[in-house]
Amino acid sequence: MKCVYTRLLSDEELRPHLERGDVIAFKGLGGEWEEIERQVERLGFGDAYAVSRSSRAGVAGEQAVIRVSPVRTQQEG
């Protein structure tokens, strides 16, 4: 499942998403990607998830997007 947030999540909110294998997008939080990456690692999902950041041009100007996605292994691919 893909989930989109405009705020940081607490450990208790983020953990169930990671356990289910969800893709999580954070919009408008470009400067927070390192904090989100540390949180994913602290929760024990650092090897299973990749944290990436990108910018998209839109009507309201450039918007940063942080994506937390499961890492596919060669066996899955």
- 30-61, pLDDT tens digit by residue? 789 899 999 999 999 999 999 999 886 666 66
Angle at 48 between CA 53 and CA 43, to 5 degrees: 85
Confidence band (pLDDT; 50, 70, 90) for 23? very high
What topology is assigned to 2-70 in CATH? Translation Initiation Factor IF3 (3.30.110)
pLDDT score, position 61? 63
Q: By percentage, how much of the chain surpasses pLDDT 70?
A: 84
Q: Is the pLDDT of residue 64 over 70?
A: yes
Q: What is the pTM of this model?
A: 0.83
What are the residue ranges spanned by the domains of the chain?
2-70
Provide the Cα torsion 26, 31, 34, 38; round to 10°. Answer: -60
Residue 7 phi/psi, 5-degree rounding, is -145, 160
pLDDT score, position 22? 97
